[in-house]
A and B are shown apart, each in its own frame.
Chain A
Amino acid sequence: MARASAEQQQPAAAHGTTLIVLVGLGIAFLLFMAFLNVVKSGNLLNEANLLYAALIFYAGAGALYLGFGVTGTQSYIKFASFATWAGLIANTGAVAHRWYEAGHPPFASLYEMLLSFVWTLAALTLIAEKRYGVKVIGTVTMPVAIVGVVLMQLLHSEVRPLVPALQSTWLHIHVTLAMLAYAACALSFALAMMFLIQDKMKTETFLAATSIFTVGIYAAILMRFERWGGFSVVAWDPENKTEVFISRGVRLFVTIPDLGWLMLLVFAAVAAPLVLYILAAVRKNDGFLSVANRAVFISILLQTLALVFFILRARDGRYPSLDAEGLYPTSLAASPFILSALVGGIFANLLYLLLLWRRPDLERLLPDADALDRITYKTICIAFPLLTLMIAAGAYWANRAWGSYWNWDPKETWAAITWLVYAGYLHMRITRGWRGRRAAYFAILGFAVVMFTFFGVTYLLPGLHAYA
């Protein structure tokens, strides 16, 4: 037995070095090419280049984490950590440069918010690794960071001066607190997920949860489905680099033909694992589960297809609109939420596959369930005061800018709901002694509400909070 496993480890170690060397060479090559290109054009250490360098490093880290996912080699984690450090340093440079150029901290546009968010993600990954010893958290955060930087490349990045309502110190305070609070909530979500893994929650349950999540994403996306197979997106004005508005607050939508059918097909593909899971539970036949896992793999391929087609169609071409004459272009920048949703779905499913293929390794690397339960609680003990202060700062700023501290604006209301949910978590834990599974579910619910407050309110419910 021992010899067999030693033999098994030998080739694995060899593969291990190969991948690390390959990733290292890849990083070096990309950096060198970028350097050459930059030397031609001049300015070396500007924001765009630093961001590109950060992307390269995060991509390297992501590749190594993924490599761990596929082969289970432990040393990948160490090098992935190095790559994350390098990426963080480059990212800090980009943030600093942006701050200097713009004259204000990077909080004023979607581009800047993403920049700050990606930086926070990398910083928190390293803190979690060092302070809490949770070394695999990069598998979750690095993909998100890569997505963030890629999205940033697609958004327009001009330094825009702040409109009058945003010219206030309280803006900086409010947004900083929001970023920190949401990051802490994200961390607590990741820790709660890890707790469920260590608490021996069945892999099938994760399958069902991932499938429900992806189905939800595609259901939300399919709200833009037109009956004859088209897919509606917001039109884009390339000269002014802004969305096209018919009238105040009302956007112009164009319909991309046939993309709707593809989205519908992918919706069916992501619903298949869920259906198979239900069949397995009802018929008490585990055979369905292995089919379901294969269906997840196929659905990832189809989701990638949908993403690629969406990007291709959105970047070129002019499309008709139901509300106005003529053809209008669109852009990826006009649909940041659809893009995030598509990418988010792919990564959620990839993470499920990581769990499916590497569960024993994960269980070995992660702290035990009890420790994770306590760390989740401690993270929420940090998130909750931050949420409180964020709401208070926002109220004070609103009072100075718009004349009242509370308007029952959708964003305000949902921030209050988020606060109540986390208050509920703390109450249940402190006074009712809720621990373990129930506490983990509560933490996950809290983060779902955070995501809705951050994305759903802006995307689905219009209001005063139109800035980010």
Chain B
Amino acid sequence: MPTSLRSAMRKIWQTLSSIKTGVVLIILVVIFSAAGTVILQRPITEPDDMQRAYSPAMLRFLDATGLTDVFHARWFVALMIFVSFSIIAASVERFPNAWRFFARPYKSPDEGFRRVLPVQAQIPISDEEQGLDAAERGLRKMGFKAERIVRTDSFSLFTEKHRISEMAVYIVHASLLLIFAGGIIDALYGWRGYVQLTPGSASNQIELRSGVTKALPFSLRCDATGEDTYSDGTPKRYWSKLAVLDNGREVVRKEIVVNDPLVYHGVRFYQSSYGRTGKIDQLIVNAARADGKGQPQEITLRPDQAIDLDANTKVQIAEFIPDYVVQDGHVYARSNDIVNPAVHLMVTSAKTNQVVNYWLPEMPGIDENASSPYAFDPKDLKTGFFTGLQVSHEPGQWAVWAGVILMAVGLTFVFYVVHVRLWVVPVQDARGGFALWVGGSANRNRDAFEQTFKRIVEEMQKELKPEIAADEKKTAASVTR
């Protein structure tokens, strides 16, 4: 029983770590990701649009299978986890061999190895010691520092560069796993939300994506907010002056703009939007007595604030309509955009206890402007602005950025750093004389390496020239394959 269980586990491991599994998983990820871009996704698309796009039966099917929120569906997450396992398994399976290759360099090639190596050459020499010296000098000229490998009765040479290149693939895969880990941490422990502030207000309530409201241990106060525009009116810059209040004390102050957030205790506040609240902030009017006596005074009216015009008369804002339309004797708001503003003031006379409804602009049939003790001439209207801030907490992002940097390093090594090895072994050639066997190996860009190898052999031959007799110079070294 144990043997069959062990063999079953062995089979499972082999499947999991095979390239085929990896490719199949990648294809599945591609298919489902593509589906997630084509099928309308739930949190982003309004429910009305969803119902308009799909028939009820189709929508039920899509919702049930999770295709309306693919990237957060359990099976998609499971698929990504499975991909991670496959990468880990494939790496673990192959790593021991690669490590053995990496940790124990093959410095002294035996005859079998020498026979079958594709890139090799033989250089005839007269004296072993001098030949190897020349070879060493030749290698040094080409930028390789040779190591002398002592054998029973002589020595051979070995040199290599960039052995780390053999590990490059594992660096890349490890970086991918690091990025995944970061993503998983953020999915589990991170959150994202939104908060809207008006100048002067503070809040610690964040409305999360999921609909839940989260209370932060500190609060954020908005001191001012604004928008700079270009001369043609397009927005140039949205800014907010924010302050962080922790335990009642102001700890941080920052003016943020888009692309430059405020960070406090791992929580980031981003300038996301800016707009009018549609509510009145200030109304500046010139108030003049209806009977013409006295001087007109300029008053600033704020919502919920009654201003005394004189001992007997008070005025305050009753209503502000950003975009008014008159219908059936009533004033209605058509929209929340400041297009046709109208203000409803209430003028109270203490003597008569009368309240006059004063409208700016005049509304024939509705307003009582004629019977008001004061006439008002509007000078300026300031409406309120809000600043919309995206808030996020992403503890896993450091793993993601570390993974990205590691991947850049890994890819550089994979594509551009080549592990090159060279051996020089004194041998006896076919005729019984001395010769140097020179062999080389590169783990990438073999065609470029073959050119380099040719030049190395030429350098060695140049170093040997003083030692070789004039006629032996003509004997060519053969580059076999």
Contacting pair A427 B19 (CB below 8 A): yes
Interface of A is mostly: helix
Known: A392-B404, A413-B36, A427-B23. A404 touches B192 (CB 8 A): yes
Beyond A165-B259, A406-B183, is A399–B397 a contact (Cβ under 8 Å)?
yes
Point out the residues of chain A lying under 8 angstroms from B22, CB to CB: 427
Check A131 for interface membership: any CB of B closer than 8 A.
Answer: no
Pick the contact of A168 from B235, B259, B392, B408 — CB < 8 Å?
Answer: B259
Verify if A381 is at the interface (C-beta below 8 Å from B): yes
The residues of B that contact A400 with a CB separation of less than 8 Å are 259-261, 270
Nearest CB of A to B250, in Å: 24
Q: Mark A417-460, 1 if CB is under 8 A from B, else 0.
A: 10011011001100110000000000000000000000001000
The answer on a CB contact under 8 Å between A164 and B257 is: yes
Which residues A207-235 have CB closer than 8 A to chain B?
A: none
- State A259–B268 Cα separation when bound (angstroms): 52
Pick from B25-33, B300-308, B462-470 the stretch touching chain A: B25-33
The 0/1 profile, CB within 8 Å of B marked 1, for residues 391-427 of chain A is 0100111011111111010100110110011011001
Shortest C-beta distance, B73 to chain A (Å), equals 11
User: In the complex, are the beta carbons of A424 and B390 less than 8 A apart?
Assistant: no
- Encode B269-305 as 1/0 by CB contact (under 8 A) with A: 0111000000000000000000000000000000000
Are A432 and B234 within 8 A (Cβ)?
no
Q: Which residues of the partner chain A approach B404 to less than 8 Å between Cβ atoms?
A: 392, 395
Whether B411 contacts A388 by the Cβ 8 Å rule is yes
* A402 touching B408, Cβ below 8 Å: no
A253 at the interface (CB under 8 A from B): no
Residues of B close to A168: CB separation below 8 A: 259
> In the complex where A424-B26, A427-B23 touch, is A403 in contact with B392 (Cβ < 8 A)?
yes
Residue of B nearest to A406 (CB): B183
Kindly list chain B residues whose C-beta atoms are within 8 Å of the C-beta of A432. 19
**CB <8 Å contact, A420 and B29:** yes
Q: Which of B208-259 contact A (CB under 8 A)?
A: 230, 234-238, 257-259
> Please, how many angstroms separate the alpha-carbon atoms of A384 and B412 in the complex?
11
Contact B272 A413 (CB under 8 A): no
How many A residues are at the interface, by size bracket? 35 or more
The answer to whether A461 and B392 have CB atoms under 8 Å apart is no
Q: B161-193, CB under 8 A of A: which get 1 and which 0? A: 000000000000000000000010000000010
B123: interface (CB < 8 Å):
no
Complex partner residue of A161 from B23, B236, B258, B271, CB under 8 angstroms: B236
Known contacts A403-B268, A403-B270, A404-B394: does B258 contact A413 (CB below 8 Å)? no
| Known A-B contacts A167-B258, A384-B411, A385-B412; A402 and B33 likewise in contact (beta carbons under 8 Å) | no
Would A385 and B411 count as touching, CB distance under 8 A?
yes
Say yes or no: A164 contacts B408, CB within 8 Å: no
Residue of B nearest to A170 (CB): B259
Separation of A400 and B258 alpha carbons in the complex (Å): 8
Q: Within 8 Å of chain A (Cβ to Cβ): is B61?
A: no
**Other than the known A381-B415, A392-B404, A420-B30, what 4 A-B pairs have Cβ atoms closer than 8 Å?**
A392-B407, A413-B33, A413-B36, A427-B19
A-B contact pairs, 16 of them (CB 8 A): A160-B234, A161-B230, A163-B234, A164-B257, A165-B259, A167-B258, A374-B447, A384-B415, A385-B415, A392-B407, A396-B401, A404-B394, A406-B183, A408-B33, A416-B33, A417-B34
